[in-house]
Amino acid sequence: MNKQWVRLTLAIVLILAAGGNGARHSAQAASASNDAVIQFGCVGLDCTYNPSEVVIQPGETVEWQGSFTSHPLVSDDSLWTTVSAGNSFSHTFTMTGTFLFHCAFHGAPGGVGMAGRVIVRELPNKVYLPLILR
Protein backbone atom coordinates (compact mmCIF):
# COMPACT_ATOMS: atom_id res chain seq x y z
CA MET A 1 0.00 0.00 0.00
CA ASN A 2 2.81 2.44 0.88
CA LYS A 3 4.52 1.88 -2.51
CA GLN A 4 1.31 2.87 -4.29
CA TRP A 5 1.24 6.21 -2.48
CA VAL A 6 4.88 6.84 -3.37
CA ARG A 7 4.18 6.09 -7.04
CA LEU A 8 1.07 8.28 -7.05
CA THR A 9 2.96 11.16 -5.41
CA LEU A 10 5.85 10.80 -7.85
CA ALA A 11 3.44 10.77 -10.81
CA ILE A 12 1.77 13.97 -9.56
CA VAL A 13 5.14 15.69 -9.10
CA LEU A 14 6.23 14.75 -12.63
CA ILE A 15 2.97 15.98 -14.16
CA LEU A 16 3.18 19.31 -12.34
CA ALA A 17 6.85 19.75 -13.24
CA ALA A 18 6.14 19.14 -16.92
CA GLY A 19 3.43 21.81 -16.95
CA GLY A 20 5.54 24.40 -15.12
CA ASN A 21 5.55 27.46 -17.38
CA GLY A 22 2.96 26.55 -19.98
CA ALA A 23 0.45 29.29 -19.15
CA ARG A 24 2.74 32.11 -20.17
CA HIS A 25 3.72 30.56 -23.49
CA SER A 26 0.17 29.74 -24.56
CA ALA A 27 -0.67 33.45 -24.61
CA GLN A 28 2.29 34.68 -26.64
CA ALA A 29 4.99 33.94 -29.15
CA ALA A 30 8.55 34.04 -27.81
CA SER A 31 11.88 34.70 -29.45
CA ALA A 32 15.44 34.08 -28.34
CA SER A 33 16.09 37.70 -27.30
CA ASN A 34 12.65 38.71 -26.01
CA ASP A 35 10.14 37.10 -23.69
CA ALA A 36 7.16 38.00 -25.92
CA VAL A 37 6.82 39.16 -29.52
CA ILE A 38 3.78 40.99 -30.86
CA GLN A 39 3.47 41.39 -34.61
CA PHE A 40 1.06 43.86 -36.18
CA GLY A 41 -0.37 45.09 -39.44
CA CYS A 42 -3.52 45.07 -41.56
CA VAL A 43 -5.23 42.48 -43.70
CA GLY A 44 -7.77 44.40 -45.72
CA LEU A 45 -9.49 46.71 -43.27
CA ASP A 46 -8.70 44.52 -40.25
CA CYS A 47 -5.74 46.02 -38.37
CA THR A 48 -4.59 43.99 -35.37
CA TYR A 49 -1.85 43.09 -32.96
CA ASN A 50 -1.03 39.37 -32.90
CA PRO A 51 -1.34 38.37 -30.16
CA SER A 52 -3.32 41.26 -28.74
CA GLU A 53 -2.54 40.13 -25.17
CA VAL A 54 0.61 38.73 -23.62
CA VAL A 55 1.29 37.60 -20.06
CA ILE A 56 4.81 38.04 -18.75
CA GLN A 57 6.66 38.34 -15.45
CA PRO A 58 8.35 41.48 -14.05
CA GLY A 59 11.71 42.06 -15.72
CA GLU A 60 10.68 40.45 -19.00
CA THR A 61 10.69 42.19 -22.38
CA VAL A 62 8.03 42.57 -25.07
CA GLU A 63 8.99 43.31 -28.67
CA TRP A 64 6.57 44.79 -31.23
CA GLN A 65 7.34 44.03 -34.90
CA GLY A 66 5.78 45.85 -37.86
CA SER A 67 5.78 49.21 -39.64
CA PHE A 68 5.57 51.96 -37.05
CA THR A 69 5.27 54.53 -39.86
CA SER A 70 1.85 53.06 -40.71
CA HIS A 71 0.97 52.11 -37.12
CA PRO A 72 2.54 54.43 -34.48
CA LEU A 73 2.70 52.55 -31.16
CA VAL A 74 1.24 54.45 -28.20
CA SER A 75 1.38 53.46 -24.53
CA ASP A 76 -1.88 54.33 -22.75
CA ASP A 77 0.20 54.71 -19.55
CA SER A 78 2.99 56.84 -21.11
CA LEU A 79 5.57 54.12 -20.44
CA TRP A 80 7.35 55.05 -23.67
CA THR A 81 7.27 57.90 -26.16
CA THR A 82 5.10 57.11 -29.20
CA VAL A 83 7.11 55.00 -31.64
CA SER A 84 6.51 56.26 -35.19
CA ALA A 85 9.53 54.99 -37.14
CA GLY A 86 11.30 51.67 -37.69
CA ASN A 87 10.10 48.06 -37.66
CA SER A 88 10.97 46.86 -34.15
CA PHE A 89 10.58 48.23 -30.63
CA SER A 90 11.19 46.55 -27.26
CA HIS A 91 10.18 47.51 -23.74
CA THR A 92 11.10 45.79 -20.47
CA PHE A 93 8.30 45.79 -17.90
CA THR A 94 9.55 46.04 -14.31
CA MET A 95 6.27 46.28 -12.34
CA THR A 96 3.20 44.08 -12.14
CA GLY A 97 -0.04 45.35 -13.64
CA THR A 98 -2.00 45.55 -16.88
CA PHE A 99 -0.54 47.93 -19.46
CA LEU A 100 -2.60 48.99 -22.48
CA PHE A 101 -1.23 50.09 -25.87
CA HIS A 102 -2.77 51.07 -29.22
CA CYS A 103 -2.09 52.25 -32.76
CA ALA A 104 -2.34 56.03 -33.09
CA PHE A 105 -4.13 55.71 -36.48
CA HIS A 106 -6.36 52.64 -36.02
CA GLY A 107 -7.01 52.52 -32.27
CA ALA A 108 -7.60 54.60 -29.17
CA PRO A 109 -6.86 54.47 -25.44
CA GLY A 110 -8.77 51.95 -23.37
CA GLY A 111 -8.61 49.04 -25.82
CA VAL A 112 -10.51 50.61 -28.72
CA GLY A 113 -9.82 49.37 -32.27
CA MET A 114 -6.24 48.28 -32.96
CA ALA A 115 -5.18 47.87 -29.35
CA GLY A 116 -3.73 45.35 -26.94
CA ARG A 117 -2.44 44.77 -23.46
CA VAL A 118 0.53 43.40 -21.59
CA ILE A 119 -0.27 41.68 -18.31
CA VAL A 120 2.70 41.56 -15.96
CA ARG A 121 2.33 39.25 -12.97
CA GLU A 122 4.32 36.84 -10.91
CA LEU A 123 3.80 33.36 -12.35
CA PRO A 124 4.61 30.21 -10.44
CA ASN A 125 7.50 28.41 -12.08
CA LYS A 126 7.73 25.34 -9.90
CA VAL A 127 5.60 23.40 -7.49
CA TYR A 128 7.36 21.57 -4.67
CA LEU A 129 5.61 18.71 -2.92
CA PRO A 130 7.12 16.75 -0.07
CA LEU A 131 8.19 13.32 -1.19
CA ILE A 132 8.77 10.77 1.54
CA LEU A 133 10.36 7.49 0.58
CA ARG A 134 10.66 4.62 3.00
pLDDT of residue 29: 39
Q: How many CA atoms lie within 13 A of 93 on its CB side?
A: 27
Going by pLDDT thresholds of 50, 70 and 90, the confidence category of residue 133 is: low
Tens of pLDDT, residues 73-118: 999 999 999 999 999 999 999 999 999 999 999 999 999 999 999 9
Lowest-confidence pick of 50-64, 75-89, 112-126: 112-126
Q: Above pLDDT 90, what percent of the chain?
A: 63
> Quick one: 33 exposed, middle or buried, by C-beta within 10 A (0-12, 13-18, 19+)?
exposed
Q: For the chain, how are helix, strand and coil distributed in percent, rounded to 5?
A: 15, 40, 45
pLDDT of residue 25: 34
Residue 33 or residue 69, greater confidence: 69
Which domains are delineated in the chain?
Answer: 22-120 (2.60.40.420)
Task: Say if CB 32 and CB 63 are below 8 A apart.
Answer: no
Tens of pLDDT, residues 5-49: 556 554 554 454 444 443 333 333 344 457 999 999 999 999 999
